Amino acid sequence: MYKQIHKYAEIEFRERSTYAMKEVITPITQTLFYFTDDEFRESKMEETRDILVFGRACDINAMKIQDQIYLENGDEEDPFYLRRREKVKFALMECQEQFDGCFCCSVGSNITDNYSVAVSFGEGGAYVEVKDEAFGDFFSGYGESDYEITFPMENALKVDFPVIENLDMANRLKAHPMWDEFDARCIACGACTVACSTCTCFETTDITYTQNGKVGERRRTCSSCMVDGFDQVAGGACFRKKISEKYRYKILHKVYGHDARFRTGPMCVGCGRCSARCPQLIGYPETLNKLSGAIEEIRQKEASHA
């Protein structure tokens, strides 16, 4: 997990973190503001110092997607995200080995220059590349090296990431039978989305301290399009009742919906956390490959009718 460290030895560099870097900036739960019946007060930031977050190239690239959703999705920036995001700088961790299920190279998230320092870990110490002058003094007493940080250029797992060219194709894919199997396989636990580097779904809840409901706090809590109740609207109606409909929504949002909104490619950095967390052993790359097959099938049907 991501948590505060106090010395070099506490950095875990041999494993992929279970949860994504996003939890530093958007905690699992946070109070946004406190209210009474006639006024409200914004919550204070618990952490007032700057935050240096260690992550890999895919993790840092995932923050671009988080920024789009919280800061560029409409006229208003999310102030609660922004106040924390502004304090964050990145320390790139070199990928000296790859983890099961990584496919960053298939989605182009294997390289980044968005870091203040880059670190190549070794048993006896570390090579550190300092890009941001603010960090120069910390390393001034150490020797120089011409070692260059490397990036993964090929993964063992290769994914043919699907491209859905327009809304018409997305709607045809919605009606494809490929989703049906997930009614039996997926249990809608949401583990894949909570661990995902790029998912941002949350719920807001008013917690009242008094019976009249006029004094309390509003909390934002991490949630998931996969869990029951997430899509419930006033009156109790739900738009995606079946698990296959929730799963389909999640996948099509990552492949098509986000790109249709921002025109920057998939909402996925290939970190592999979703598949690693799934208790039902549902492989996200396997779903993507099926989706590519379904797209091909629809195109071929169209061509044969032309």
CB 159 within 8 Å of CB 285: yes
Residue 268 binding ligand SF4, by CB under 6 A: yes
> Tokens at residue 269, please?
């950095």
For ligand SF4, the closer of residues 234 and 281 by Cβ is: 281
Terminal alpha carbon distance of the chain: 53
Residue 192 binding ligand SF4, by CB under 6 A: yes
Rounded to the nearest angstrom, the gap between the alpha carbon of residue 74 and the centroid of all alpha carbons in its chain is 20
Residue 277 binding ligand SF4, by CB under 6 A: yes
For ligand SF4, the closer of residues 128 and 278 by Cβ is: 278
Strands 216-222 and 29-35: antiparallel
Residue 196 binding ligand SF4, by CB under 6 A: yes
By CB under 6 A, the residues from 202 to 261 that bind ligand SF4 are 226, 254
Residue 198 binding ligand SF4, by CB under 6 A: yes
| Min dist. Cβ of residue 36 to ligand SF4 (A) | 39
Q: Choose which of 53, 155, 190, 248 interacts with ligand SF4 (CB under 6 A).
A: 190
CB pairs under 8 A, 24+ apart, for 13-17? 13/93, 13/96, 13/119, 13/121, 14/97, 15/99, 16/56, 16/99, 16/102, 16/271, 16/272, 16/273, 16/276
Q: Choose which of 188, 201, 222, 291 interacts with ligand SF4 (CB under 6 A).
A: 188
Stretch that binds ligand SF4, among 35-43, 74-82, 120-128, 271-279 (CB under 6 A): 271-279
Residue 81 binding ligand SF4, by CB under 6 A: no
Stretch that binds ligand SF4, among 39-47, 122-130, 144-152, 189-197 (CB under 6 A): 189-197
CB 220 within 8 Å of CB 29: yes
Q: Choose which of 173, 270, 288, 294 interacts with ligand SF4 (CB under 6 A).
A: 270
Residue 264 binding ligand SF4, by CB under 6 A: no
| Min dist. Cβ of residue 224 to ligand SF4 (A) | 7
| Min dist. Cβ of residue 90 to ligand SF4 (A) | 17
Distance set, CA 174 to CA 87, 161, 187, 212, 217 (Å):
41, 17, 20, 45, 39
Q: What is the largest CA-CA distance in the chain?
A: 72
Is the C-alpha dihedral spanning 39, 86, 267, 19 positive or negative? Answer: negative
Residue 272 binding ligand SF4, by CB under 6 A: yes
Q: Choose which of 60, 157, 169, 271 interacts with ligand SF4 (CB under 6 A).
A: 271
What burial class does residue 181 get, using C-beta atoms within 10 Å of its C-beta: 0-12 exposed, 13-18 middle, 19+ buried?
middle
Q: Choose which of 80, 115, 249, 284 interacts with ligand SF4 (CB under 6 A).
A: 284
Give the three-state DSSP class for 146: coil
Q: Return residues touching ligand SF4 (CB under 6 A).
A: 186-192, 195-198, 226, 254, 268-274, 277-280, 282, 284
